[in-house]
């Protein structure tokens, strides 16, 4: 009996058919084991049926080793424990699905760390790092993963469980003498070592970042016959890793960063050996192409921190305290500028600035994958490596190769270890393009081998490079690799045809010449994707940032369920398969795709935080519009999707409507009939709407020189919280503006998108454009109080109607209250409130609109602002009210938001601009929260909020 989840449905097979590479192979099925013993039990079932298996961690591998026609074992959901940390011995024991940053956080409590830290450190797993022999920024300080593994607990395909590590001659002899399967393995490994030892010493490159091939050098006597380290980097082709004992190293408590700007990246690479002499804890490089790409993607905040130059080195120094780290950094800067006056150096000690600069380097893959005005870039020659002293020569000749093939790619990476990352604008769709892709890889292989380097310095060989291993190691050592695999996996069932007897580099491509998705007529026009929905779903490069379980706003449902299908990546891959027509899922009526999208809260966190701006909220709305075409939707879709009409009807008799919703029995019946969770309470309708109040208020003073502004009467402000609208009008009046509210009924249609009512949503937007035509032409600002409604005008409007000039104008004229006051009301003064404010950002506010102006305004009001890093609060408009989503909604809120609210003292002001945010706080924590308009008006009146 397998204690876990066994999935052979089409949706699960599609989800695991690709990862972060160019390759796609549909697996036979997926097993998500709950315990280590269940891994062994599931493996026994596979063995009985003679089917291949593949162990998978975070699925961020770039070389194709994470997909295969096999049964995939996903360790990342349940086998995540850090079993033990021994600070005295500087060791940690982990399960294979443990996330690297979880281990690092636990180790830091003892001023220790696990040294290797790839850019995916927030979500990559230790098992995946062991499979690929990952490295990262601090490998100059701590080495590769293989250098930091003491022991591995493994199981072979034939069911043998054993613990492996360094082996003395005495121990080796004893194990061989004991016989059995384990004795046979060790005898064969000894014989393999003895047969190939001299060839290994002669042909293995002596460089810091040797990751290609199998680590047969670890079997040599000088390395202690270390079987664990020989298996690190074997990419699941030999054994399944059940656990690991990891070496921990001292973590310098203080860090300082120096960024050196060189005339070009080649000069920066030339200087690496001299920089290494200063003993930095990290040494990375980036080129001007990466920086230019980030600027074109609208990410100037980080790159503006860089000193002048066209190639940069990021040099980190550590110390036991700030003075020591700063002293080392400043000494380096003095030496550097004296040695080369052409270099501009910038020193950073501020934590936020250092994180922003490191983000430039860590976002390299995503920042260069989809750049406006440029062809898409792909992995393929992702992480080659040479000795650091040959790095300058290598990057020059690599760039020459680009030019000869007519290709473009940014150069960045772990320059301190001679490892170069790049994504290149290969054509992976046409036959000629794929041929040129292959030709380039062959010549690039010849280049790096000629310089004594390695095809892979971090991400492994998989399918992307394994075919070319004979060029690097020669046929005899490639034969040795085959023998090594056969010792562990004689039947070839462990991740077959990766590393050994590999698939060709140009087969099983995710795109390839056979990729020809059928054109789809869509509601959204996808102007940033050439008007093509299928191209939009290609945005996902599989890097997996959406699989974080802490911090940021992407992706809330994954943070709760830890299911691949609820990650941005998983949903994008399913949609890609659906539109490609080649996968196990297909068509807009596919329930597997619909189920995966069901828990999308449409928070747009992916649009803001995904490195390539995958926008699942938009894709979900488009999918649902087609899925439900000529079909009835669930009851909640009509009750909540058309809430703007129900609210308008209730406004005629709000007392009756409120009494009906709160009446015992009747209220529950109404909720049940509308698909609303029994645990939810309906927010009461206001006795008077905001628009009714505005029509009867005394006329504003003559406009005179006052600038006219429109306050948008969204459904939630108008019918439920009109006091917020009144506060906004009072503020704008006090700031010297002439306020207007549209007299005809208007609505942006925000709730419609959640249920795919896109035809109706488009009609509402067209009506809005007609109603505001004169003001749009006049350039009148439209101040919106509900962030989700502002996001409609800045996002969905131009996606649905991209060719309408008035739509684009309205998008630029739409502002939030905080944005408008921050820019146009700097003279507005109020006595400081002098209170602490706990702020819950609305997801659309943070992901689409930007939250900086909100923080500035709250600080101007004299508040000590604490912005919660809570992600989506789980209500998400209609989502949290629906009975089918209630549990997930509350789990999202209980992650950070509600515990923080409950802990806050009574005098702490809770600020939340989103209506659904305030409802979740009210219903989940029993506490009131306030819109910025209320807070600012309170300060203006020198009053107080309770």
Distance between CA 830 and CA 824 in Å, rounded? Answer: 15
Hey, how many other C-beta atoms are within 10 angstroms of the C-beta on 303? Answer: 19
> Span 282-290, mean pLDDT?
94
φ, ψ for residue 440, nearest 5 deg: -60, -45
Question: What pLDDT does 130 receive?
Answer: 98
Q: Which residues contact 366 (CB under 8 A, 6 or more apart)?
A: 541, 543, 545, 610, 611, 612
Of the CA atoms within 13 Å of residue 488, those in its CB half-sphere come to 28
> Span 322-337, mean pLDDT?
94
Question: What pLDDT does 753 receive?
Answer: 97
Among 76, 54, 59, which residue's Cα sits nearest to residue 5?
Answer: 76
Hey, how many other C-beta atoms are within 10 angstroms of the C-beta on 331? Answer: 12
Strand partners of residue 816: 784
Indicate if the pLDDT at residue 365 is higher than 90.
no
Distance between CA 437 and CA 439 in Å, rounded? Answer: 6
Hey, how many other C-beta atoms are within 10 angstroms of the C-beta on 60? Answer: 29
What angle (nearest 5°) sits at the alpha carbon of residue 9, between those of residues 6 and 13? 90
Distance between CA 499 and CA 485 in Å, rounded? Answer: 9
Distance between CA 217 and CA 229 in Å, rounded? Answer: 9
Among 165, 133, 153, which residue's Cα sits nearest to residue 36?
Answer: 153
Distance between CA 492 and CA 490 in Å, rounded? Answer: 6
Q: What is the pLDDT of residues 383-417, one digit of tens each?
A: 999 999 999 999 999 999 999 999 999 999 999 99
> Span 733-739, mean pLDDT?
92
Indicate if the pLDDT at residue 856 is higher than 90.
yes
Residue written as token pair 């009756």: 656
Model confidence at 361, in pLDDT bands (50, 70, 90)?
confident
Q: What is the pLDDT of residues 894-907, one digit of tens each?
A: 999 999 999 999 99
Indicate if the pLDDT at residue 765 is higher than 70.
yes
Q: What is the pLDDT of residues 40-64, one digit of tens each?
A: 999 999 999 999 999 999 999 999 9
Check if the beta carbon of residue 273 is closer than 8 Å to that of residue 388.
Answer: yes
What angle (nearest 5°) sits at the alpha carbon of residue 498, between those of residues 494 and 502? 125
Among 175, 199, 202, which residue's Cα sits nearest to residue 452?
Answer: 202
Residue written as token pair 């003073």: 701
Indicate if the pLDDT at residue 587 is higher than 70.
yes
> Span 9-36, mean pLDDT?
96
Whether a cis peptide bond, with omega within 30° of 0, leads into 586 is no
- H helix or E strand, kind and range, residue 396: helix 391-405
Check if the beta carbon of residue 238 is closer than 8 Å to that of residue 488.
Answer: yes
Among 13, 121, 15, which residue's Cα sits nearest to residue 563?
Answer: 15
Strand partners of residue 6: 31
Q: Which residues contact 603 (CB under 8 A, 6 or more apart)?
A: 553, 554, 556, 617, 843, 844, 847, 871, 872, 876
Question: What pLDDT does 275 receive?
Answer: 97
Model confidence at 371, in pLDDT bands (50, 70, 90)?
confident
Indicate if the pLDDT at residue 300 is higher than 60.
no
Q: What percent of the chain has pLDDT over 90?
A: 87
Q: What is the pLDDT of residues 671-725, one digit of tens each?
A: 899 999 999 999 999 999 999 999 998 876 665 678 899 999 999 999 999 999 9
Distance between CA 393 and CA 262 in Å, rounded? Answer: 16
Hey, how many other C-beta atoms are within 10 angstroms of the C-beta on 221? Answer: 9
Check if the beta carbon of residue 448 is closer than 8 Å to that of residue 475.
Answer: no
Distance between CA 404 and CA 447 in Å, rounded? Answer: 14
Q: Which residues contact 682 (CB under 8 A, 6 or more apart)?
A: 661, 662, 667, 671, 676
Question: What pLDDT does 873 receive?
Answer: 83
φ, ψ for residue 384, nearest 5 deg: -65, 160
Indicate if the pLDDT at residue 944 is higher than 50.
no
Q: What share of the chain is helix, strand, coil (3-state, %, to 5)?
A: 45, 15, 40
CA distances from 604 to 67, 546, 866, 891, 929 (A): 28, 12, 22, 19, 23
Burial (CB count within 10 angstroms: exposed 0-12, middle 13-18, buried 19+), residue 882: buried
CA distances from 112 to 82, 102, 246, 322, 575 (A): 14, 13, 12, 17, 42
Beta strands 344-348 and 737-740, pairing class? unpaired
Helix or strand or coil: residue 395?
helix
Q: What is the pLDDT of residues 413-459, one digit of tens each?
A: 999 999 999 999 999 999 999 999 999 999 999 999 999 999 999 99
DSSP states of 832-861:
---EEEEE---HHIIIII-SHHHHHHHHHT
Token representation of residue 611:
């490195």
Q: What is the pLDDT of residues 919-933, one digit of tens each?
A: 999 999 999 999 999
Hey, how many other C-beta atoms are within 10 angstroms of the C-beta on 652? Answer: 8
What angle (nearest 5°) sits at the alpha carbon of residue 79, between those of residues 74 and 85? 140
Distance between CA 232 and CA 146 in Å, rounded? Answer: 6
Token representation of residue 904:
């806050």
Model confidence at 240, in pLDDT bands (50, 70, 90)?
very high
DSSP 907: T
Q: What is the pLDDT of residues 124-183, one digit of tens each?
A: 999 999 999 999 999 999 999 999 999 999 999 999 999 999 999 999 999 999 999 999
Token representation of residue 670:
């109404």
Distance between CA 566 and CA 570 in Å, rounded? Answer: 6
Indicate if the pLDDT at residue 298 is higher than 80.
no
Indicate if the pLDDT at residue 842 is higher than 60.
yes
Distance between CA 166 and CA 147 in Å, rounded? Answer: 12
Model confidence at 945, in pLDDT bands (50, 70, 90)?
very low
CB burial readout 120-142, b (16+ within 10 A) else e: bbbbbbbbbbbbbbbbbbbbbbb
> Span 777-793, mean pLDDT?
97
């Amino acid at each position: 009996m397998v204690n876990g989840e066994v999935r052979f449905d089409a949706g699960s097979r599609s989800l695991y058919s690709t990862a972060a590479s160019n390759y796609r192979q549909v697996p036979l099925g997926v097993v998500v084991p709950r315990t280590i013993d269940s891994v062994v039990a599931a493996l026994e079932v596979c063995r009985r049926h003679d089917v291949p298996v593949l162990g998978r961690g975070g699925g961020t591998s770039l070389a194709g080793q994470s997909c295969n026609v096999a049964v995939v074992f996903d360790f990342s959901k349940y086998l995540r424990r850090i079993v033990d940390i021994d600070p005295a011995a500087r060791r940690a024991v982990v399960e294979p699905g443990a996330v690297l940053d979880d281990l690092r956080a636990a180790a830091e409590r003892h001023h220790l760390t696990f040294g290797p830290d790839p850019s995916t450190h927030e979500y990559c797993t230790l098992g995946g790092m062991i499979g690929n022999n990952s490295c990262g920024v601090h490998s100059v300080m701590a080495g590769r993963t293989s250098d930091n593994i003491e022991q591995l607990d493994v199981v072979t395909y034939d069911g043998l469980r054993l613990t492996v590590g360094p082996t003395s001659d005495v121990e080796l002899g004893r194990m061989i003498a004991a016989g059995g399967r384990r004795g046979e393995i060790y005898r064969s490994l000894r014989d393999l070592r003895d047969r190939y030892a001299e060839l290994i010493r002669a042909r293995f490159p002596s460089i810091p970042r040797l990751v290609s091939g199998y680590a047969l050098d670890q079997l040599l006597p000088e390395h202690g016959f270390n079987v664990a380290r020989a298996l690190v980097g074997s990419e699941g082709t030999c054994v399944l890793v059940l656990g690991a004992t990891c070496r921990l190293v001292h973590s310098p408590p203080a860090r300082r960063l120096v960024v050196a700007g060189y005339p070009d990246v080649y000069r920066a690479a030339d200087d690496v050996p001299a920089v290494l002499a200063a003993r930095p804890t990290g040494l990375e490089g980036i080129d001007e192409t990466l920086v230019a790409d980030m600027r074109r993607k609208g990410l100037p905040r980080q790159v503006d921190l860089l000193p002048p130059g066209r190639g940069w080195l990021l040099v980190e120094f550590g110390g036991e305290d700030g003075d020591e780290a700063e002293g080392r950094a400043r000494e380096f800067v003095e030496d550097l500028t004296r040695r080369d006056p052409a270099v501009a150096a910038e020193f950073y000690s501020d934590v936020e600035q250092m994180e922003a600069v490191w983000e430039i380097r860590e976002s390299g893959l995503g920042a260069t994958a989809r750049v406006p005005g440029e062809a898409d870039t792909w992995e393929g020659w992702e992480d080659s490596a040479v000795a650091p002293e040959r790095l300058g020569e290598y990057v020059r000749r690599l760039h020459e190769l680009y030019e000869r093939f007519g290709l473009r790619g940014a150069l960045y990476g772990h320059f301190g270890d001679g490892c170069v990352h790049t994504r290149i604008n290969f054509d992976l769709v046409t036959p000629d393009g794929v041929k040129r892709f292959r030709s380039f890889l062959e010549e690039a292989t010849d280049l790096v081998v000629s310089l004594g380097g390695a095809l892979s310095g971090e991400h492994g060989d998989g399918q992307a490079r394994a075919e070319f291993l004979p060029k690097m190691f020669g046929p005899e050592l490639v034969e040795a690799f085959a023998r090594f695999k056969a010792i562990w996996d004689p039947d070839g069932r462990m991740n077959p045809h990766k590393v050994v007897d590999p698939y060709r580099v140009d087969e099983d491509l995710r795109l390839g010449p056979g990729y020809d998705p059928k054109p789809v007529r869509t509601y959204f026009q996808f102007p940033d994707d050439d008007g093509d929905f299928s191209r939009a779903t290609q945005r996902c490069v599989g890097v997996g940032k959406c699989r974080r379980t802490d911090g940021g706003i992407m992706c809330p449902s994954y943070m709760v369920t830890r299911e691949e299908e609820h990650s941005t990546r998983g949903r994008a891959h399913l949609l890609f398969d659906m539109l490609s027509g080649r996968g196990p899922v297909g068509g807009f009526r596919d329930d597997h795709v619909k189920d995966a999208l069901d828990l999308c809260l449409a928070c747009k966190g992916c649009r803001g935080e995904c490195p390539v701006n995958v926008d699942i909220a938009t894709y979900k709305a488009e999918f649902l519009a087609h899925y439900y075409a000529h079909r009835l939707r669930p009851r909640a879709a009509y009750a909540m999707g058309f809430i703007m009409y129900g609210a308008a009807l209730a406004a005629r008799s709000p007392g009756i409507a409120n009494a009906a919703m709160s009446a015992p029995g009747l209220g529950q019946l109404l909720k049940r009939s509308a698909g609303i969770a029994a645990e939810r309470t309906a927010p009461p309708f206001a006795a008077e709407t905001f628009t009714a109040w505005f029509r009867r208020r005394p006329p504003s003073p003559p406009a005179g020189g006052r600038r006219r502004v429109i306050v948008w009467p969204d459904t939630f402000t108008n019918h439920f919280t009109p006091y917020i609208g009144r506060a906004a009008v009072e503020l704008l009046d006090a700031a010297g503006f002439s306020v207007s509210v549209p007299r005809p009924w208007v609505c942006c249609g925000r709730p419609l998108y959640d249920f795919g009512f896109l035809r109706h949503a488009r009609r509402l937007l067209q009506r809005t454009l007609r109603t505001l035509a004169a003001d749009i032409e006049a350039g009148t600002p439209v101040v919106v109080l509900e962030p989700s409604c502002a996001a409609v005008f800045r996002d969905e409007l131009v996606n649905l109607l991209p060719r309408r000039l008035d739509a684009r104008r309205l998008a630029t004229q739409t502002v939030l209250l905080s944005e408008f006051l921050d820019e146009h009301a700097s003279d507005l003064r109020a006595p400081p409130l002098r209170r602490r404010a706990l702020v819950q950002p609305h997801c659309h506010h943070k992901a689409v609109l930007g939250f900086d102006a909100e923080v500035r305004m709250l600080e101007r009001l004299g508040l000590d602002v604490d912005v919660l890093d809570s992600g989506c609060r789980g209500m998400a408009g209609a989502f949290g009210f629906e009975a089918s989503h209630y549990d997930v909604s509350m789990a999202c809120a209980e992650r950070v938001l509600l515990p923080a609210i409950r802990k806050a003292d009574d005098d702490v002001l809770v600020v939340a601009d989103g209506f659904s945010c305030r409802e979740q706080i009210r219903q989940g924590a029993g506490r009131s929260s306030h819109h910025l308009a209320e807070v600012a008006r309170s300060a203006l009146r020198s009053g107080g909020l309770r």
